[in-house]
Amino acid sequence: MQYLPQFELERLTQLLNRWCGAHPEMGVLALVPEAEKAGVEGLQKVCRDLGVPVVGAIFPALIEGGAFRDKGLWLLRFDVMPFAALYADLPLDGDPLQARVDALVADLKPHLPVDADTTLFLLFDSMVPNIGSLLDELYLRLANRVHYMGANAGSESFQPMPCLFDAGRIVGNGVLALLLPRHRGAILDHGYGVPEQMITATSTEGNRIRQIDWRPAFEVYREMARMQYGVAIDRDNFYQYAVHFPFGIVRANGITLVRIPVALEEDGSLFCVGEVPANSVLTLLEAPRVDSRHTLETICAGLTAANGALDGRELLLFYCAGRRLHLGVAAATAELGGLFAHSHIATLAGALSLGEIGSTVEGEYPLFHNATLVASLWSPTAS
Amino acid sequence: VNRQHIMAVLYDITMVIGGEVKVKPLLTRTLQRMLYHTSFPAGLALLDLPGDQSAGEVTVRLDAAVGDYELGERVGQQFTLPAALVRGDAALVEDTALLQALPCARKAYGVCLRLPIEGCGVILLLARSAPHTELPLTQIFQPVMANLGKAVMLCRHNEAYAASLTNERDVAREELGESEQRFRLLGSAAPDAIAMLDDRGAVAYWNPAAQRLFGYAPDEILGREAHRLIVPPRFYDAFARGFEQFRSSGSGPMIGHSVEVDGLRKDGSEFPVELSVSAFQFRGHWHAIGIMRDITERHLAEVQLRIAATAFEAQEGIIITDADQTILRVNRAFSDISGYAAEEAVGQTPRLLQSHRHDVAFYQRMWQAILADGFWQGEIWNRRKSGEIYPEWLNVTAVRSEQGDITHYVGTLTDITARKAAEKQIEHLAYYDLLTQLPNRRLLRDRLQQALAGSIRSQRTGALLFIDLDNFKIINDTCGHDVGDQLLVEVARRLGGCVRVGDTVARPGGDEFVIMLDDLSDNPQEAATLAKDIGGKILSALNQPYALAGRVHHSTPSIGIALFANSGDTVDELLKKADIAMYQAKSAGRNTLRFFDPEMQATLATRAVLEAALRLGIVRSQFVLHYQAQVDGHGRILGAEALLRWEHPERGMVSPAQFIPLAEETGLILPIGQWVLEAACALLRDWAADPRTRDLYLAVNVSGRQFRQADFVAQVGLALANGGAPASRLKLELTESVVLDDIEDSIGKMQALKRLGVGFSMDDFGTGYSSLSYLTRLPLDQLKIDQSFVRNLPDNANDAVIVQTIITMARSLGLAVIAEGVETEAQRQFLDRNGCPTCQGYLFSKPVALAQFDQLLRSH
């Protein structure tokens, strides 16, 4: 994996040429910060010219070393390009969704190795509203044949933006699927505490909560914020507070799924990052006191359990933009530094994500999260 | 984790369970949510566990599996598992040995959360090691499992019910499908177009025949308003009205009937359609089924049949027989012609009509033609039922089968009795004189032609008699045409009595008759004698008095006879000879007969040459006027008589006696007379300009034909006006015969001219009637004593008395008198002594040219 501080095509070309010399069957995964999205076409052209397979995504920012970067470019090399496919215009539900998942699985299956661990690495456009449902459908078909990890790309402004690309296309409302061979998935954690107050999302549509307890979602949200935390949230300060008071979807194992509200509609419905299933039992998470230490320990322990010691290895990390917003850039950066230090890894590459996919323990049901760190080794058994 | 968290998990799973209606999704979704909540990575559901043994192995069926790929592949299959694993209360089973019995090689599960489904099975949640949780999972899921057990039962009921419904539906659908298939096969196989219209008039069914008939494929017409496509626009309103009634009541003018309408094809062409419409109610709405058939061919066939039927009942008789000539059918015209009713003719053969006028050979030829050519036509005599034999025009046509065998004969026959009669009538009109019923000129010529040819062959002599009635014109003019016609008829009758049977009596025209006596004798002399005898008989017969219109009339003939034998004469030449002979008879005093004289013929030939020359003379202005002085008792010239002279470049001066009669006869006298008048008037104008001559008068002879012209008065007036001549100096000389021909007309014309100032002299007076009765009526100025009376004066006592009488008469009438032809002094003195000093003759001057006359004037 190679970070290029400047998105310069000439340097890019030189690097790829050099890699191609050593790895003729190579391919690359490119992580591009939103500020450099204009360079994607050039990148695609260089790769096409060199015959290098390329896929990639545009994120709000990149993670390089122990810091967030708005500029530059990550090129993650595959010595042999694995299966990668870009699917645009995903259907919302019903038979079209089933058919699309069937087609995706049919594409994947011929490339699944018989014995070795394989990770299905999914990069979604964050504007896809039904990622949770898509994961459910995938898990029903592939079950434990693969590990699951992934993140959401897109603009931090949550405005629609084509953010997934291959050598010829750049698309939105889609998913980029890669099969990472000899890979044991990712570890995910957020460390948000769970309050006692429960509410029920009585009307939802994808990632939009229309009603809570049969009342307009925002009305209940601001009432709970005031009752539980003494915070007066109105339409004017909604965007300022919402990131600090996300919803939690309660699970029996005590781990909640975080859903950060990111938009307030005129009718009082709330848009979240990530799908909220109908009838989900929600809790309003109090300006979570993030237990960074626990998070980092959980991640490192999980990775080590799956992959062995991390010392000197390359780590791929997706860090939730909402979490950075909640903690603040300084705390978030400190968290990155903590991970870097705690894990003794050689390289930390990654991106600021708009939602994360993974399991809190290895082999667990794949879930879509917010406000988490999702980490995996890059070429865990190869490098 | 508090109580509220448990409730949230249970609530979520309960909602999932309640949301499913089929067993497999129920189990799968429930497993999904339980894995989601518990962090167990895999789970399976087994239903219908057999027996209740708690040890050993039991055969199970895997009903659902989530999270384990290998298990997922075996859903629906049966395998054995330890009873200890699947039976028992809810528990966390950590017996690896038991778990190894699971049919999944890839995952080695170390722990299993067993959750019995109340009454019907078990759920096993699998993990390598137990996931962290603070909840007593074995207890908290019990209500959910109870709920799930009921849900499974409900889903099964539901599925069974749905299956039964599906089965019933499938059976019904199959039956419906078969029914529909039968219907579609019926519709597809139907030769007629079938269309079904719903209550909006839209096409709900359209079979292939309809597509072939109208040109619209089903996808082009189904669901569309039928009348917009297949009904001609002019019928839209009527269709809309009819359909509106149908929509509300299911009835209408077309429902239940078969009607003929006009259809419209996709290509815009129209065609006749037989339409049968029936109605039925479907879901409370009236629908219509129309069965349509293109009846263009039928219409054409009907037209053909109508034409054939009309043709069969035409004016021509039609008879149809089979190949054995047995009559199968006849039409009304046949019955009208033959007299046989259809039932009398059918079953007979055409021999029924045989007249026996034709021999066997005739019929043999007819049938040979029919068999060879398939057709015969010609005239045939047949016999009516009444026995009357009549002519008919018969066409016989043989009708052959596709194999060429004769199957029928069709005869068409026309009664040509009337045509034959008409032809005969036409022939009669063409060859016979209507009045006398005698052969006319045309038939005469034909027969004469034949006779001439026959005489050459036979060397026998025949005769042609040309008969002209001498005074027919007088009788015709004075007694009227009816009497004239009666005379002609009687003459014809009498002539018929004078000749032999076989001789031809003809009336070529007017009062002329011609008799052809053919084959009289091989001796010309004898033939002449016979002809003369017959001629004599004719003279005798025609001289007998005629009782016509209540009065007795007399008429005599002049007969010219020309003999013919091997003379080489043509018909025209022979007729001309007889004509000439007839003129000879006329010349001989009439009421007599003459044989053709070759000298007479020569004279006539000369006459013909002269006529031609006369015509040329007019054109070439060969005529001049000579003037003979008229003097008083003292020898003073009072005027002159203009006398016509013909100066022929070769013949020299031609005598008026030679050409005037010919000019009269040919009508050439008219242009000549006109010229004379104009020349005379021109001279009078010249004389009027000269004091020496202005008192002279000029006498001009007027011919009968000229005077009888209707515009004679105008001609004279015009000549005077053009010449600028004084009318009082012009004296017209008329003969008695001219004036008396039409006395009233003559008086009128003379009076009109008299008013212009023109004077009149009666020429040749004394040679005619010389009746006082007309003399007193005529506006005469002068009598001119004919030279024949003067010639023998004074010695001939008769002539002297006549001349004296004339002079006395003139004097008594107040008329002047002049004598012509005075050649001697003795004559002059006699005339002068008896009161006629005015004379004209060689004694004073012969007729001279104008220049000489001028000289004569100057010498006086």
Residue (of B755, B758, B748, B749) closest to B719 by Cα position: B758
The distance of A132 to chain B (nearest Cα, Å) reads: 11
Which residue of chain B has the CA closest to A253? B133
The distance of B131 to chain A (nearest Cα, Å) reads: 8
* pLDDT at position A383 over 50: no
The distance of B69 to chain A (nearest Cα, Å) reads: 5
* pLDDT at position B690 over 80: yes
First and final C-alpha spacing in chain A: 11
d(CA B342, CA B860): 110
In contact, B618 and B585? CB cutoff 8 Å: no
pLDDT, residue B162, reads: 84
Chain-chain contact of B39 with A144 (C-beta, under 8 angstroms): no
Band of the pLDDT at A69, cuts 50, 70, 90?
A: very high
Q: Mean of the pLDDT values across residues A214-227?
A: 87
Query: For chains A and B, what is the number of CB pairs under 8 angstroms?
Result: 95
ipTM of the modeled complex: 0.82
**Secondary structure percentages of chain A, helix, strand, coil, to 5:** 30, 30, 35
Q: Mean of the pLDDT values across residues B169-173?
A: 84
pLDDT, residue B769, reads: 61
pLDDT, residue A289, reads: 65
Q: Mean of the pLDDT values across residues B161-166?
A: 84
Chain position carrying tokens 């002079």 = B807
CA angle B417, B421, B425 (to 5 degrees): 170
Of B37, B66, B68, the CB nearest to A251: B37
Picking from B39, B137, B141 by the largest number of A CB atoms within 10 A of its own CB, the best residue to mutate is B39
Chain position carrying tokens 């100032």 = B757
In contact, B733 and B704? CB cutoff 8 Å: no
Give contacts of A139 with chain B, Cβ < 8 Å: 32, 66-67
Which DSSP symbol is given to A286?
Answer: P
For residue B117, what is the enclosing H or E element?
Answer: strand B111-117
Neighbours of A112 (CB within 10 A): 17
In contact, B682 and B723? CB cutoff 8 Å: yes
Chain-chain contact of A251 with B42 (C-beta, under 8 angstroms): no
In contact, B271 and B179? CB cutoff 8 Å: no
Which DSSP symbol is given to B235?
Answer: G
d(CA B107, CA A12): 43
| Environment class of B691 (CB within 10 Å of its CB; exposed 0-12, middle 13-18, buried 19+) | exposed
Strand order in the sheet with B557-564: B504-509, B512-521, B461-469, B557-564, B593-595
Helix (H, G, I), strand (E, B), or coil: what is residue B503? coil
| Environment class of B146 (CB within 10 Å of its CB; exposed 0-12, middle 13-18, buried 19+) | middle
Q: Which amino acid is at B346?
A: V
Of B12, B35, B137, the CB nearest to A365: B35
In contact, A284 and A312? CB cutoff 8 Å: no
In contact, B768 and B736? CB cutoff 8 Å: yes
* pLDDT at position B24 over 80: yes
In contact, B370 and B409? CB cutoff 8 Å: yes
Give contacts of A281 with chain B, Cβ < 8 Å: 7-9, 11-12
The distance of A115 to chain B (nearest Cα, Å) reads: 8
Q: Which residues contact A326 (CB under 8 A, 6 or more apart)?
A: A243, A244, A246, A260, A287, A288, A290, A371
Which residue of chain A has the CA closest to B71? A143
The distance of B5 to chain A (nearest Cα, Å) reads: 7
Neighbours of B301 (CB within 10 A): 11
The distance of A136 to chain B (nearest Cα, Å) reads: 8
Which chain B residues have any C-beta within 8 angstroms of a chain A C-beta? 1-2, 4-9, 11-12, 15, 28, 32, 35-42, 65-69, 71-72, 106-107, 127-128, 131-135, 137, 140
Of A141, A198, A252, the CB nearest to B37: A252
The distance of A255 to chain B (nearest Cα, Å) reads: 9
Instruction: Write out pLDDT tens, residues B410-455.
Output: 999 999 988 888 888 888 888 999 899 999 999 999 999 999 888 8
Strands (E), A101-207: 118-125, 147-153, 164-165, 170-171, 175-181, 187-189, 199-205
Reply yes or no: is the peptide bond before residue B794 cis, omega within 30 of 0: yes
Q: Mean of the pLDDT values across residues B823-849?
A: 93
Of A143, A363, A365, the CB nearest to B36: A365
Percent share of chain B, pLDDT over 70: 98
Which residue of chain A has the CA closest to B107? A144
Chain-chain contact of A360 with B2 (C-beta, under 8 angstroms): no
Which residue of chain A has the CA closest to B39? A364
Strands (E), B236-314: 258-264, 270-282, 285-294
Lowest mean pLDDT among A78-87, B172-181, B508-517, B599-608: B599-608
Chain-chain contact of A198 with B7 (C-beta, under 8 angstroms): yes
Which residue of chain B has the CA closest to A117? B106
Q: Mean of the pLDDT values across residues B378-398?
A: 93
For CA atoms B806, B812, B818, B824, the dihedral sign is positive
* pLDDT at position A232 over 80: yes
Band of the pLDDT at B524, cuts 50, 70, 90?
A: confident
Lowest mean pLDDT among A359-363, B480-484, B715-719: A359-363
Of A136, A143, A250, the CB nearest to B8: A250
pLDDT, residue B418, reads: 87
Chain-chain contact of B135 with A252 (C-beta, under 8 angstroms): yes
Give contacts of A141 with chain B, Cβ < 8 Å: 72
d(CA A339, CA A348): 9
Instruction: Write out pLDDT tens, residues A99-143.
Output: 999 999 999 999 988 777 899 999 999 999 889 889 989 999 998
The distance of B179 to chain A (nearest Cα, Å) reads: 32
Chain-chain contact of A253 with B132 (C-beta, under 8 angstroms): yes
Average pLDDT taken over every residue of chain B: 89
b or e along B200-238 (b: 16 or more beta carbons within 10 Å of the residue's beta carbon)? ebebbbbbbbbbebbbbeeeebeeebbbebbbeeeeeee
Q: Distance of CA A131 to CAs A102, A173, A260, Å?
A: 15, 11, 15
The distance of A280 to chain B (nearest Cα, Å) reads: 6
Picking from A251, A276, A283 by the largest number of B CB atoms within 10 A of its own CB, the best residue to mutate is A251
Q: Distance of CA A296 to CAs A305, A333, B48, B735, Å?
A: 14, 13, 47, 175
* pLDDT at position B60 over 70: yes
The distance of A199 to chain B (nearest Cα, Å) reads: 9
**A199-205/A208-212 β-pairing:** antiparallel
* pLDDT at position A381 over 60: no
Q: What is the 3-state secondary structure (H, E, C) of B61-113?
A: EEEEEECCHHHHHCCCCEEEEEHHHHCCCCEEECCHHHHCCCCCCCCCCCEEE
Chain-chain contact of A144 with B106 (C-beta, under 8 angstroms): yes
Q: Mean of the pLDDT values across residues B761-774?
A: 74
**Secondary structure percentages of chain B, helix, strand, coil, to 5:** 45, 25, 25
Assigned token pair, B306: 């109508």
Lowest mean pLDDT among B181-190, B332-341, B779-788: B181-190
Give contacts of B106 with chain A, Cβ < 8 Å: 144
Strand-pair partners of B547 = B552
Of A139, A196, A200, the CB nearest to B67: A139
pLDDT, residue B2, reads: 58
More confident residue, A230 or B361: B361
d(CA A347, CA B61): 50
Of B4, B42, B67, the CB nearest to A198: B4
Chain-chain contact of A144 with B107 (C-beta, under 8 angstroms): yes
Instruction: Write out pLDDT tens, residues B124-144.
Output: 999 988 887 777 888 888 888
Of A144, A279, A367, the CB nearest to B68: A144
Of B28, B67, B134, the CB nearest to A365: B67
In contact, A371 and A256? CB cutoff 8 Å: no
Assigned token pair, B557: 């003939």
Chain-chain contact of B69 with A281 (C-beta, under 8 angstroms): no
Picking from A144, A194, A275, A284 by the largest number of B CB atoms within 10 A of its own CB, the best residue to mutate is A144
The distance of A220 to chain B (nearest Cα, Å) reads: 18
In contact, B780 and B760? CB cutoff 8 Å: yes
d(CA A281, CA A195): 12
Q: Distance of CA A343 to CAs A148, A290, A315, A323, B709, Å?
A: 22, 19, 9, 20, 162
**B782-785/B759-765 β-pairing:** parallel
Of B65, B66, B134, the CB nearest to A254: B134
Assigned token pair, A199: 């509410």
DSSP B309-357: HHHHTSSSEEEEEETT--EEEE-HHHHHHH---HHHHTTS-GGGGB-S-
Chain position carrying tokens 């190949």 = B323
Backbone torsions φ then ψ of A275, nearest 5 degrees? -70, 145
Give contacts of B107 with chain A, Cβ < 8 Å: 144
d(CA A5, CA B175): 74
Strands (E), A255-346: 257-259, 261-264, 270-272, 281-284, 314-320
For residue A55, what is the enclosing H or E element?
Answer: strand A54-59
Which residue of chain A has the CA closest to B43? A143
Chain-chain contact of A252 with B106 (C-beta, under 8 angstroms): no
Instruction: Write out pLDDT tens, residues A287-346.
Output: 566 777 788 888 888 888 888 888 889 999 999 998 898 888 998 999 898 888 888 888
Band of the pLDDT at A382, cuts 50, 70, 90?
A: very low
Give contacts of B12 with chain A, Cβ < 8 Å: 279-281
Assigned token pair, B762: 């009666």
Band of the pLDDT at B177, cuts 50, 70, 90?
A: confident
The distance of B39 to chain A (nearest Cα, Å) reads: 6
For residue A293, what is the enclosing H or E element?
Answer: helix A292-307
Helix (H, G, I), strand (E, B), or coil: what is residue A277? coil
Instruction: Write out pLDDT tens, residues B571-624.
Output: 999 999 999 899 888 887 888 888 887 776 677 677 778 888 888 888 888 999
Helix (H, G, I), strand (E, B), or coil: what is residue A223? helix
Rg of chain A (C-alpha set) = 20
